Structure 1
Amino acid sequence: MTADPIAPRRLGGPPTEMACATCGRILNTYRTPGGGVSHLHPTGPRDYDHRPAPVPADQLAAVARDCDFCSNPYPILSIRSGPVHAVTIGENTQTTHNFGDTWAACITCARLVDAGKAAPLARRAVDGASWATDTIAAQAVHRIHTTVLATRQPGTTLITTTDWPHTPIPATTLPKARDATAKLLRAGSTTLTAIGAPVRRTIADGLDQAHLYAIDEELTDLARHAASDLPAGTTLAPADLPVPHGLLLWAQPHGPRRVSAASWTSTADEITITTYRSIGAGLPPEALQHLREDIGWLLPVTATHATQQGIAAGDGVPLLVATLLLIAQRCTETIEVEPDPRIARAYRRSRRPLPAVRLVQLRGRSAHSRPAQPSPASATPDQPTPHVRRWVSGFWRQQPYGPERSLRRWRYVFAYLRGPHSAPIAASTTVRVLGKVPPRPAGQPAARHRDPPPTS
């Protein structure tokens, strides 16, 4: 009896690529002689503390895949070749290995493939596996790689599901990160499966004009809590945008895809929202430099549209909407940040205006709207003057706005101290985090219309 491995670590085309729902690892798929299919972790079940739980890989937000050439854990590009098969002949058995026609490549191997260098490509694989170069396995790898390069198909596909760790991006680097992303979106030889060509051009044009925003830690935390309670059907209108085109970077990632940034692009018909994850952590310096040159700092993950029917669900989209609504509420302030001097010099050499980078943070506590403090003169027998100050927790309230104040929208009131300014603060065992938003009261809509008052 023999088993027929079906396209181990294969990225596309039939059969469906499977991953383990428990650990996210891409699984090897095997067809048995009786026509059945089995799935195993790539290095054998003994290396794992659980059995494979196969699901289609595209159902997972992040996938633990390796480079098909050198086993680097951060493949970034998918490369196509002609179908590659290998036949293993034993004393009484013969096994056919179908490697498929699609190969995941890290940035270093992708460059070697582009240069047609089969020997260095095979050497990386042998070194990664700690094999001697004269072994049968090493010679077979070299032949496989030679076949891939000889039948290489034009173009590459960007891999957006690799489980990259979060990579902090300094605000001072945003202009260069923005330019690299726009260049990537315009690269016709690189396919982005989640973003079609016409939308890519629109997003890239918007990035060229985008104002750049970096959100500090406290405002990022506040926006994440606000996004978790964003009412269904919330819409994003042009009036909610600080500018028609923008790129915004959060201090911390969000959601299963670790979304770190988002951009918005306004057209006559709609607002296009693109989310990104940061990449690069875990690579050695030379590979990191190649990644920055070829791909950049930000990996586009999704592109959605904000319409009058409400925002689309998805990692990072509600977070962007919540952040923009908080900015529109005027509870934030911006500080201009000087870009990296090397980036500034590069802009001057190319005779391009240097874009401003705005650090957005919460205003001082005294700037937040809050109810008036009671004073001794206003105290009544029923309301004696308090001798201590007490904390009032933050809460949501509806604010009238619009024509004749006929519309309602939720506004967050920050926690504050009630009582005379000179009074001591009452002891309390409750810990209040001023920058966080509690859940909005259940059963109440986020915004509502009411009939305008009658006019005489």
Structure 2
Amino acid sequence: MNLATLMACATCSHALTEHRHGSRLGFRHPVADEEHEVVPVDAVHAPQVFNRCHTCSGELPVWNYRTGLIQVMALDVGAVATYNDHWHVCYACAQHIEADDVGALTDRCASFMRWRRGSTEYVQLNLLHRGIVLGREGRTLLTTTRWPAARIAAEMLPKVRDRFTGLLGSPVDLPTAINDREGRQSLANQLDLAPMYWINEEFTELVNAVSRNQPPARLSEELMPSSAGLIAWPGAVGPGQLAAVSWTPQFDGWQLLGYRSIGSALREDLMPALRHEIGWLLPAHAEHVPRRGALDGSHPLGPLVTTWLLINQQMAEAVPAKLPKGTTKAYQRSNRPAPDVRIVRIKPRNSAPGPRSPQPDGTRSRAKPDHRYWVSGHERQQAWGPGRTLRKPIDIQPFLKGDESLPIKLSTTVRVLGNRTAVRDS
């Protein structure tokens, strides 16, 4: 399930609030209803979507606060203004809400509009803020906000993982698909013990180059480097701009959870609090995949499977990461096992040419391809049992064929690993 889809109104391009009533899903304009009907579309299809904090209108929203439906009455004219019951709020405004400081919230938001204290606009805004602060019923982490991507280094992974498992154990709500409390705690417990893999820059470039065309691969224990784990790339990969993916075993398969990252998009004085409370990772895609379920390069979690295939093809090697002493000592003080972080990198190329096989006179050798390409996976009947008379099906996974020194050919584009530009194939 995609957790990162932002819905907007096709008419006004305002990001919408999501409302669930049992099995029914609806959308409303932010803050208050507009004169036109809501026309919900995926925000990628709306021009210049306005997605900002509902209280200050100045910054990207982090939390969705839930209240009752707020109504404000103007006694002098007998008019009633009806507002929303979902409020997308930025991190700075949320600090005032969590502190129950209505005055500070109104001062901050009025300053954006240059409304002075005591003005009619200020008083009305303060009444609305009272309804939000005093009437709040809970808050949910917004996973639909597009943040600048963070750069994740290998030595950061223990802290990145711990911040997310801490978020799983916190009282704040997550998107409905991953908000089951028992499931959240189980996921946190499994990730706490799982190895972490950091894919280096060169390997990440390879993943980005070949993932889109990766044929379907069937998930199995043999394909994965460990029964559970967290893989992170230094930069965003794939169309979904993934920063990391975790996998944990379930009864009949695995739970896969893809994450986007939160870069430094806040004021410097707020970033430490955000890193402590939320961390670096935002869930973007959650999916249960059964054993032998097939995922290809077009899947939102395709870069994970591509990475597994390349590791499984023995194109990479994993070496232990050298972690800061402060990290290892912190784990020791809390009586936790040392974090297992491995750097995955492409194996060094063998520069020595192999011996050439002599060709018999008058025979022609088969032409070798001048590029690497994907070979699709398939099922094979494996002989076994007494006298190898029995057969059982086994999966042959997709693999990249061709010498490691050759460029990678994808449809009409040839990519040379390590180069930043693509050379068009004539």
TM-score, normalised with respect to structure 2: 0.77
**Counterpart pick for 1:282 among 234, 251, 265:** 265
Change (3 A) 1:212 1:139: same
Cα offset, 1:128, TM superposition: 2.5
Counterparts of 2:27 and 2:376 in 1: how far apart (Å)? Answer: 49
Cα offset, 1:138, TM superposition: 2.1
**AA matched with 1:299:** L
Does residue 395 (structure 1) correspond to residue 373 (structure 2)? The answer is yes
Q: Which moved more, 1:188-197 or 1:350-359?
A: 188-197
SS for the counterpart of 2:226 is coil
Q: How does 1:197-208 map to 2 (within 5 A)?
A: 197=180, 198-208=182-192
SS for the counterpart of 1:82 is coil
TM-score, normalised with respect to structure 1: 0.72
Cα offset, 1:276, TM superposition: 0.7
Q: CA RMSD in A?
A: 3.8
Query: RCO greater where, 1 or 2, for CA within 8 Å and sep 6 or more?
Result: 2
Please name the residue that 1:17 is paired with: 27
Can you give the 5+ residue segments of structure 2 that lack an aligned partner in the other structure?
1-11, 385-392, 407-412, 420-426
Cα offset, 1:381, TM superposition: 5.8
Higher-Rg member (1/2): 1
Cα offset, 1:175, TM superposition: 0.3
Counterparts of 1:240 and 1:253 in 2: how far apart (Å)? Answer: 23
Cα contact 2:238–2:303 (8 A) shared by 1:
no
Overall identity of the aligned pairs, in %: 28
SS for the counterpart of 1:76 is strand
1:195-239: CA deviations, max 9, x gaps?
Answer: 14143233212211110111122222322343322334x321011
Counterparts of 2:73 and 2:360 in 1: how far apart (Å)? Answer: 92
SS for the counterpart of 1:208 is helix
Cα offset, 1:81, TM superposition: 1.7
1:254-312: CA deviations, max 9, x gaps?
Answer: 34542210000013421111111111421112211111111111111222122145246
Please name the residue that 2:135 is paired with: 151
Counterparts of 2:128 and 2:17 in 1: how far apart (Å)? Answer: 15
Does residue 80 (structure 1) correspond to residue 80 (structure 2)? The answer is no
Counterparts of 2:345 and 2:351 in 1: how far apart (Å)? Answer: 13
Counterparts of 1:137 and 1:344 in 2: how far apart (Å)? Answer: 54
SS for the counterpart of 2:52 is coil
Q: Which moved more, 1:165-174 or 1:249-258?
A: 249-258
Cα contact 1:214–1:250 (8 A) shared by 2:
yes
Please name the residue that 1:264 is paired with: 247
Cα offset, 1:354, TM superposition: 2.2
Counterparts of 1:16 and 1:300 in 2: how far apart (Å)? Answer: 22
1:50-76: CA deviations, max 9, x gaps?
Answer: xxxx42468989975211222243211
Change (3 A) 1:8 1:263: closer
Change (3 A) 1:392 1:10: closer
**AA matched with 1:343:** T
1:164-214: CA deviations, max 9, x gaps?
Answer: 111112221110111111121122442322314143233212211110111
Equivalent residue pairs, number:
384
**AA matched with 1:243:** S
Q: How does 1:54-73 map to 2 (within 5 A)?
A: 54-56=39-41, 64-73=50-59
Counterparts of 2:189 and 2:93 in 1: how far apart (Å)? Answer: 31
Please name the residue that 2:34 is paired with: 30
Can you give the 5+ residue segments of structure 1 that lack an aligned partner in the other structure?
20-25, 32-36, 40-53, 385-389, 419-429, 437-456
Change (3 A) 1:162 1:432: closer
Counterparts of 2:299 and 2:165 in 1: how far apart (Å)? Answer: 21
Cα contact 2:165–2:192 (8 A) shared by 1:
yes
Change (3 A) 1:341 1:417: closer
Does residue 236 (structure 1) correspond to residue 243 (structure 2)? The answer is no
Counterparts of 1:324 and 1:161 in 2: how far apart (Å)? Answer: 27
1:31-61: CA deviations, max 9, x gaps?
Answer: 4xxxxx346xxxxxxxxxxxxxx42468989
Please name the residue that 1:374 is paired with: 356
Please name the residue that 1:133 is paired with: 117
Change (3 A) 1:160 1:256: farther
Cα contact 1:8–1:27 (8 A) shared by 2:
no
**Counterpart pick for 1:413 among 394, 397, 401:** 401
SS for the counterpart of 2:70 is strand
Cα offset, 1:18, TM superposition: 5.9
Cα offset, 1:126, TM superposition: 1.6
**AA matched with 2:143:** T
